[in-house]
Structure 1
Amino acid sequence: QPAEEFGETAINLLIDVLKGKAKRAVKVILPYQLIIRNSTGPAPAQPVNLTR
């Protein structure tokens, strides 16, 4: 994900709020991408026992 763009957008919005330039809520849609990797998959068939 473009973390730098996310951070820059957030900082610019915060600066506008601090300077009193933000008069209302702003909706920002940033580009995103779903990347399927090995950590992505269906839930286990059996519940996982988390007791110690």
Structure 2
Amino acid sequence: MVIEDEKIIAAEELFTDSRLRIRKVVQSPAGKLYLLTDEINGKVIRIMNSTN
């Protein structure tokens, strides 16, 4: 999301082709973002941008 003056001005959708259902999203103490998928053998996915 791109936020200016407390308003969302742009958003990017992730995982649109993989049809994942997200169970939980957490941020680590270091500021890294992780997702847990809602599957029998769920996946932990770290979200990174081009500067990580």
With the length of structure 2 as denominator, give the TM-score of the two structures.
0.23
Larger radius of gyration: 1
**Which structure shows the bigger proportion of residues in strand conformation?**
2
With the length of structure 1 as denominator, give the TM-score of the two structures.
0.23
